[in-house]
Homo-oligomer: A and B are copies of this chain.
Amino acid sequence: MKDQVTVIGVGCTKFGDNFDQSYEDLVVEAAQAAFADAGIEPERIEAAWLGTFSPHAGHGKASVSLGDALRLYGKPISRVENYCATGTDAFRHAAMAVAAGVYDVVLVVGAEKLKDRSVRGLASDGRHPYRDDGLTAPGMFAMAANRYFHQFGGGREALARVAVKNHHNGSLNPKAHFQMRVTEEQVLKAPLVAWPFGLYDCCPTTDGAAAAILCRADLARQFRADPIRVKGIGLAVTSGRPWYDSAFDYVGFEATRAASRQAYRMAGVADPVKEVDLAEVHDCFTWTEITNYEDLGFCGKGEGMRFIGEGRSALGGDLPVNPSGGLKSFGHPIGASGVRMIYEVATQLRGQAGPRQVPGAELGLVHNLGGPGAVACVVLLGQ
Which residues does A use to contact B, with CB under 8 Å? 1, 4, 47, 53-68, 72-83, 89, 92-93, 96-97, 99-102, 122, 124-127, 233-241, 254-255, 258, 262, 371, 374-375
Contacts and interface: CB of A to CB of B under 8 A. Distances in A.
Nearest to A64: B240
Copies of the chain in the assembly: 2
Contacts of A4: 100
17 contacts: A59-B126, A61-B126, A62-B83, A64-B83, A64-B371, A67-B237, A73-B238, A74-B236, A75-B237, A76-B234, A76-B235, A78-B93, A78-B235, A93-B93, A93-B96, A96-B96, A97-B100
Given A74-B254, A96-B100, A237 B64 contact: yes
Contacts of A61: 125-126
B82 A124 contact: no
A260 to B, nearest CB: 12
> Most chain-B Cβ atoms within 10 A of its Cβ — which of A56, A59, A93?
A56
Nearest to A81: B79
A240 B125 contact: no
A125 B65 contact: yes
A82 B78 contact: yes
A236 B75 contact: yes
Contacts of A76: 234-237, 262
Given A58-B126, A81-B81, A96-B96, A238 B74 contact: yes
A125 to B, nearest CB: 4
A54 B58 CA distance: 11
A102 to B, nearest CB: 5
Given A56-B57, A63-B82, A79-B82, 18 more contacts: A56-B125, A56-B126, A60-B125, A64-B237, A64-B239, A64-B374, A67-B238, A68-B240, A73-B239, A73-B254, A74-B255, A75-B237, A76-B262, A78-B80, A78-B89, A96-B97, A97-B100, A99-B102
The dominant DSSP class at the A interface is mixed
Contacts of A236: 74-76
Contacts of A81: 62-63, 79-81
Nearest to A83: B62
A98 to B, nearest CB: 8
Contacts of A101: 1, 99
Contact of A100 (B65, B80, B100, B239): B100
B67 A258 contact: no
Per CB-CB distance, the 6 closest pairs between chain A and chain B, nearest first, are A64-B240, A58-B126, A76-B235, A99-B100, A54-B56, A100-B100
A294 to B, nearest CB: 17
Contacts of A241: 68
Contacts of A67: 237-240, 374
A89 B97 CA distance: 12
Nearest to A71: B239
Contacts of A96: 93, 96-97, 100, 102
Given A58-B125, A101-B1, A102-B1, A63 B375 contact: yes
